[in-house]
Amino acid sequence: MDQNYRQLIQLMLPEGILEYFELANTTKDSKEINIFLEEKNIVPEEYKDQSLHSKSFLPEIQVQDIPIRGHKVALCIKHRRWEVQSTGEIVTRNWTLVRSGARITTEFVLFLKGIFG
């Protein structure tokens, strides 16, 4: 992604979101902007020593964000899930652990916990 576009997108989205999510699509009509985000296939830190296989995404969640230029904004988020190859267990990223590693802001963790927690 071009650096100028990335910087602009970072200013419009919750801080730290592009570290873990990719911008998949956007749509706009006369009243609303939808921003589609998909969690990157980055194995959660607590499972880094295990063999995981991406098992697609959990159902999409829509969250209202700060309006932009008079348009409502909906973040349409797909949270990834993985299967632990050795046990068949399905796991997702633990956002509390991510925060304790200081890789994203507390604001972003609280935002995600409100969606998934």
Is pLDDT at 29 greater than 50 in this prediction? yes
**Residue 104: how many CB atoms within 10 A of its CB?**
19
Identify the band that residue 107 occupies on the pLDDT scale cut at 50, 70 and 90.
low
**Residue 51: how many CB atoms within 10 A of its CB?**
11
Is pLDDT at 57 greater than 90 in this prediction? yes
pLDDT at 1: 61
Structure tokens at 93: 């990223």
pLDDT at 39: 93
Q: 71 vs 17, 61, 66, CA distance in Å?
A: 21, 19, 9
pLDDT at 103: 46
In a 13 Å sphere around the CA of 44, the CA atoms on its Cβ side amount to: 19
The more confident residue out of 37 and 61 is 37
